[in-house]
Chains A and B, each alone.
Chain A
Amino acid sequence: MASGRPSEPPTAPRLRPQAILELLAKHDVDYVVIGGIGANIWGSPRGTLDLDVCAATTRANKKRLAAALTELDARFRPPGLEQDGIAPPGGWDERTFDSLISLATTTTLGWLDIWFVPDGTTGYDDLIKTAADARIGNHYVKVAAIADIIRSKQAAGRNKDLAAIDHLRELDARRAERGQSAP
């Protein structure tokens, strides 16, 4: 358990991406896996503390997403309050996402970040065109193309994003050398 001293970074709950993805599938949420876990599915060995997904913005999908977040006991994860988070007043429903382009949550299965408009993209409809299917458990999940993950990291422009780009390019080149086109 963390000591809670302010000088220490917050301890992320243990991330269980497969369980989260299965739960999103159970609720029929339309989404594309992006970010570090997207890169992992493509074969990156680098670790990450959160799962990033880009969700479709239709009203019906937001309703399904709200149901999934309710089951995950998701809470907003603002800086400084990453440990406990803040539950949305009145619980999750489709209106919770109004005017948001992204939200960081802490859940019973780890940190889950929902994006409606990831950096460098126009959102789900943009990413789904080139997304690939990856079998995870009993479901197929949509994972963003490596080129799109790179595009988003370039647009985000943080040092940690830029540092990942060379690695992703190397991964992409290695996959091409091995003739691996599908995840």
Chain B
Amino acid sequence: MTALIAPERAALIPEVRKPKAIKLPSVADQTLRNGLRVLAARRPGVPRVEARLVVPTARGDVAPSARIRMATRTLLSGTSKRSSVDIAELLQQIGGNLDANSDEEHVVLTGSALAPDLPVLLDLLAEVLIDASFPDDEVALERARLTQEITLMRSQPETVAREALMKRMFGRHPYGRGLPSPAEVERVKPAILRSSTPERLLPTGSILVLVGDVRPDRAVAAAEEALSGWKADKRAPKPGLSTPPTIKPGATVIIDRPGAVQTNIRMGGPAVNRSHPDFPALALANLVFGGYFVSRLVDNIREKRGYTYSPGSAVQHLDQASYFYVQADVGTEVTGPALVEIRYELERMLAGPIEPSELQSAKRFLAGTLAMSIQTQAGLAGYLAMLASSDLPLEFLRDYPKAVEALDADAVIEASRRHLAPHRLVTTLVGNSEAIEPVAAAFGPVETSAGG
């Protein structure tokens, strides 16, 4: 076994036994006649049940951002049978919750309840999907609140930084469009929500996951009973968004936040999805570089140099694109040195070597945290929903750590060369441009804009 630390001290610490292999949960998986796919698994830890419903909303075209956000916010604001208060009180009675969220290509409903009340939760889900009434006063109120929330979010540097990176990577594609403007929100009227929402929220291609102290077959049967009235639309286009254009490297974008005491550094570039043969090696490359605490990036710019509190990197997946990104919020005065060190650590990944201890550590971390992430009811529900909406089989849970285990350092270096090369990445900086533009401009072309 490779020692993770210096051998003279490794001898002083307790042996670690061989990890137990991951046990695949037993999952009932059935597609209902209306096209809704239902997955259910038993996790009897506490007498509760978690539900996730993922509904694709891009069908031929993409849902207008302000409209889908408003539809999501007001989906639980009433039906022909129940007011918003009735719904909220019902959720308390069943020890539950139900929240709707949206991104550019899905609406996701996250719910839970005490296990015996699963049928009540499912009936409520069906009711809002089929019969949401978007009352005028509720829509008007939520329009005002969404506008205020957008203002609030845009005042947070991390939101500005995220929007800047997505826009820099994906441009005019929906992935790059960010939060809607207050004016766009103002234009969303109840009538359009009533007419357009049922066209977007369809069972075909949707995924419902139920995990908890329930029998899987009974949970599926309960879902079928509650949700069979959610009708498919045979004329509706297939779900899916257009593929975004390739990310083009170029000028560093600076968003000015005058007087900011930190710079939010973000770098991003194209990556591959979980089904791609390169993915296991990319996942390891990301970990070794900056994907967890004992990575090179954290060791360098936090533990050695103290430039930042929580630097890191990750591979993110959207339905039509995956991307690798790096983030670090650093003191304004060390922006230049931090950029140098990030680039240095990226290039060190391409040059090699990767130490055997680094490789083993990343493999163990990946397998261990994967196993942990599916232990709770909420964790397993989220993971099953991710698998199903990424078209991955349950066996991914077993096969992915196996594929990772089989890789050697050369494979990780090669994957780094394909996906982590700095010349493939774009850079955005949110901060005090007066202080940071000179050094950024010395490294390459910059485009500075006001905002933030």
A and B: real partners? no
